[in-house]
Structure 1
Amino acid sequence: MNPHMVSTVVLVVHWVVIVILSIRVVMRRPPVGVAMAWLVVVFSVPFAGAAVYLLFGEKRLGRSRAVRIQSGVPRLTRWQASLGAQAVTVPLPIGPPGEPLRRHAERLQGFPALPGNETLLLSDFESVFDHMIRDIGAAEQTVHLCFYIWEEKGRTGEIVDALTRAAQRGVQCRAIADALGSKTFLKGLQAGRLRRAGVDLRAAWPTGLARALATRTDLRNHRKIAVIDGRVAYTGSQNLVDPRFFKQKAGVGEWVDAMVRIKGPAAASLDGVFLFDWSVETGATFEPPTVWTASGSAMPGGSVVQVVPSGPDLQAESIHQVLLKAIYGAECELVMTTPYFVPDDALLTALTTAALCGVAVTLIIPARNDSLLVRHASAAHFDDLMSAGVRIALFNGGLLHTKSLTIDGAVSVFGSVNLDMRSFWLDSEISLLVYDRDFTGRLRDLQERYLRDSERLDPDVWNSRPSRRRFVDNACRLLGPLL
């Protein structure tokens, strides 16, 4: 075969691949920005672009995982309906943002808003570890943990000690750690110690070359959940890491996180999310917690809390819709914190519209980020936001990892979700909607603490940055749908 014929065959194959994958992208109907970004990759990088798309361009759950999810969803739905006996059935007494948001979230994911929860906002890792270790130490029946990142150093060893003691006294201890985020831990000494003590430790979304052919390898379980005896639960942004040791070489300072401790009916909702994940990872039948015994008694006058899980195993776009509904429902003020801000057009439009309508919109993000691409892609949106009146604050006290949104001082969105496409569409996430002015006030105070350690971005100074920086920011913005 002469060189001319070889080049012709290669060219023909190249265009056949492009046409087939283009049709595939169009027919799968991803968000327009995502579709266009993938088409650019496929067209511009011969063969390699096609390979990258086949590995990362589709939500391939794997056949066996998809079957386990489909078999568990009907039982999950029936259990969610059984929570209705405890649900809020009257309009929430907190003004316009709450009631439409509650109805929307329940229709999307099925979890009702449950009253009577005692909520404790924990704003530093020491208090998170102190409370969690104490609650595990008092466990009588079950301890359930699900975390994206679990590392051995620092105070995480105390969590291992507490779990080991709990398992040895007969408490059923089950834990899920993401196979990629906790890769080193799952192969380490502490994981072996847990297993020997009787803790059932599993890897979420296992990876490997063979699995990559059937499953998209960057679909991850990004949730942070701990539930003790079905009555006390934790969630938020804190992984099982000690920030004094975690990613110290990244040059961004210590990670700054927050968690909420919940005692009451909403703990059972979080336990249900964990047990559904457990059934998917282990193949066990989904057995939801008992509504009345596992949830505990409601606290009179406590917070109304609604759990919103999201991810490729459930309704992936649910948290995206919930956030848009929350933003459009604001009348006076929106304050949000996130480590990774790479909005799509819908979210960007919602934020600028709110600001132009007179809502005081504040975005607090880290001054230094551990992802260079995210840093530039995020910066590309600052011009539009500040032009609309959004206040942007750069946090200087480390890598601000808390994910929070407060609306009109009445409603909070709090959990593991970043304001980027990965959290919206790909990763398994957990969020809480808290309809309570007292809790929202405490979260708002924490946001103010972050603001005091931040520098407000000056629009005039920002607009005078070098042209080469503008170009890099805008070029990275094009990759935003893929980040």
Structure 2
Amino acid sequence: MLASALPVALGVALGGHLSRRLRRQQLARRFIRLADDVPLDVLLEREVGVPVRDGNEVALHADGSIFDALEREIRSARESIHICEFMWRGTGDPSERIGRAVLERRPGVACRIVLDWFGSKRFDPDLERRLVASGCQVRRHAPLPDPFRCNHRRVLVFDGRTAFVGGFGIWKSWLGNGVGEEGWRDTAARVRGPAVGDLQRAFDDSLQAAGGQPLPAAAYPRLAPAGPHRVAVVASTPAWARATLAARMSYALLASARRRLWIANSYFVPDRSLQDVLLARARAGVDVRVLAPGPWHDVPLVQAGQRRTYRRLLAGGVRVFEYAASMMHAKTILADDACAIGSTNMDSQSLSFLWEASIVTDAPEAAAGLARRFELDLTRSYEIEPGAWRRRPGAMRLREAGAAVAEPWL
């Protein structure tokens, strides 16, 4: 029976891949064409399908500073603490620190936590018992029916009024300042204002997918303007053969750039359609730069897939840098003065198979902050020169060829 099912499964997988590939090529051409005349906010609402909310405040948090901000919000919460986290693991700081803050929350504050079965498989069982005993609801995003469709989101919402998104995990690798083996480089954003309601809905969807009940109406307070900025929340769910919201968001941002397109991404394995958009922007005179992981990488196969894209990108005028100070784990895009921050990588996993959450904003302070940090990170990186890349060792080429086999699922 297993032998007869295997060809069917392989056929379904291949069919899904071919369908996604065709659909993405069509979308790439569509977004390149539309972006010449359609502003980004219209692309987001009409082509991606997400609302763009006015009246928000956005603040950036880099590296280990996120844990100070989270602890403050947890201890200040008066109504609810909602945490959807792909990776919460281990003992000690920051796991114990954040867990202690939750345990010491104000009386009567509701606590709901959704963890991914894979990313948080080493969640401290003693901490989980203490959390449950304190009245906190802890749920797992289950591996069935599809073990590849993990919940990769990092969405934390407090009192329905303040939310955080980013690429961080609650683990020791995110301590520090983005330098050194145990100090991964990452960026998160704090959001206040009407867009928090959309992030609360993203948490609500994750909670229900993990078997929880829908949030009560009180979890959605009426949100007054908190700042002058526009924010779109892109909460993406898997789609086997269609284009996800995460994929559409990526096309929209890349195609909309007219001056600069600066990408920092931890798992940078863009398929040919995304490469086409990057190359089209470079041909149009846009300053296109990619900052990806270098010597420090936690998934060697993904790094080989990442480097397999360099030849075509470099030949087309895209500048590529590898971060040398630690693991580059940020997932940010700076397209002119618009920016995206969240959990979404530029690979097939994020754009097809995973639950993701990112924000897109026009906040000038956020764009300026991302630009400053990108420029600082470049001083801790080395640029991939086309001539030197053509002379790279044969062993590296062999690893890239091996990654090509798994590329549709990297």
TM over 0.5: yes
1:432-451 mapped onto 2 (5 Å cutoff): 432-451=359-378
Structure 2 vs 1, CA of residues 265 and 245 (structure 1 numbering), >3 Å: closer, same or farther?
closer
- 1:117 equivalent in alignment to 2:56: yes
Instruction: Show CA shifts across 1:379-429 (max 9, x none).
Output: 111111111111111111100101000011x10011001111000000100
Structure 2 vs 1, CA of residues 235 and 98 (structure 1 numbering), >3 Å: closer, same or farther?
farther
Structure 2 vs 1, CA of residues 407 and 283 (structure 1 numbering), >3 Å: closer, same or farther?
same
Q: 1:78: which partner in 2? A: none
Task: Specify which of 12, 22, 41 is matched with residue 102 of structure 1.
Answer: 41
Q: 1:229: which partner in 2? A: 159
Task: Specify which of 298, 320, 330 is matched with residue 392 of structure 1.
Answer: 320
Instruction: Show CA shifts across 1:35-85 (max 9, x none).
Output: 9xxxxxxxxxxxxxxxxxxxxxxxxxxxxxxxxxxxxxxxxxxxxxxxxxx
Q: Within 1, Cα distance between the matches of 2:88 and 2:273?
A: 33
CA RMSD of aligned residues (A): 2.8
Q: 1:477: which partner in 2? A: 404
Structure 2 runs not aligned, ≥5 long: 24-34
1:144-155 mapped onto 2 (5 Å cutoff): 144-151=82-89, 152-155=91-94
Task: Specify which of 130, 136, 139 is matched with residue 202 of structure 1.
Answer: 139
Q: Within 1, Cα distance between the matches of 2:173 and 2:14?
A: 43
Percentage of matched positions with identical amino acids = 26
Structure 2 vs 1, CA of residues 153 and 99 (structure 1 numbering), >3 Å: closer, same or farther?
farther
1:150-161 mapped onto 2 (5 Å cutoff): 150-151=88-89, 152-161=91-100
Q: Within 1, Cα distance between the matches of 2:174 and 2:328?
A: 14
Q: Within 2, Cα distance between the matches of 1:136 and 1:217?
A: 31
Task: Judge conservation of contact 1:339–1:402 (CA < 8 Å) in 2.
Answer: yes
Task: Judge conservation of contact 1:267–1:295 (CA < 8 Å) in 2.
Answer: no
Q: 1:174: which partner in 2? A: 112
**Residue-pair matches, total:** 393
Normalised by the size of structure 1, how large is the TM-score? Answer: 0.75
Q: Within 2, Cα distance between the matches of 1:27 and 1:341?
A: 24
Task: Judge conservation of contact 1:276–1:286 (CA < 8 Å) in 2.
Answer: no
Task: Specify which of 284, 290, 311 is matched with residue 357 of structure 1.
Answer: 284
Task: Judge conservation of contact 1:272–1:288 (CA < 8 Å) in 2.
Answer: no
Q: Within 2, Cα distance between the matches of 1:130 and 1:245?
A: 11
Structure 1 runs not aligned, ≥5 long: 1-9, 36-95
Q: Within 1, Cα distance between the matches of 2:125 and 2:37?
A: 45
- 1:242 equivalent in alignment to 2:172: yes
Larger radius of gyration: 1
Q: Within 2, Cα distance between the matches of 1:288 and 1:388?
A: 51
Structure 2 vs 1, CA of residues 289 and 451 (structure 1 numbering), >3 Å: closer, same or farther?
farther
1:50-129 mapped onto 2 (5 Å cutoff): 100-107=39-46, 110-125=49-64, 127-129=65-67
Tell me the amino acid that sits aligned with residue 231 of structure 1.
R
Q: Within 2, Cα distance between the matches of 1:177 and 1:387?
A: 42
Q: Within 2, Cα distance between the matches of 1:402 and 1:288?
A: 34
TM-superposed deviation, 1:436:
2.4
Structure 2 vs 1, CA of residues 153 and 31 (structure 1 numbering), >3 Å: closer, same or farther?
farther
Tell me the amino acid that sits aligned with residue 51 of structure 2.
P
Normalised by the size of structure 2, how large is the TM-score? Answer: 0.88
TM-superposed deviation, 1:438:
2.6
- 1:378 equivalent in alignment to 2:317: no
Task: Judge conservation of contact 1:313–1:428 (CA < 8 Å) in 2.
Answer: no
TM-superposed deviation, 1:366:
1.2
Task: Specify which of 304, 324, 327 is matched with residue 230 of structure 2.
Answer: 304
Structure 2 vs 1, CA of residues 295 and 221 (structure 1 numbering), >3 Å: closer, same or farther?
farther
Structure 2 vs 1, CA of residues 358 and 132 (structure 1 numbering), >3 Å: closer, same or farther?
same
Q: 1:89: which partner in 2? A: none
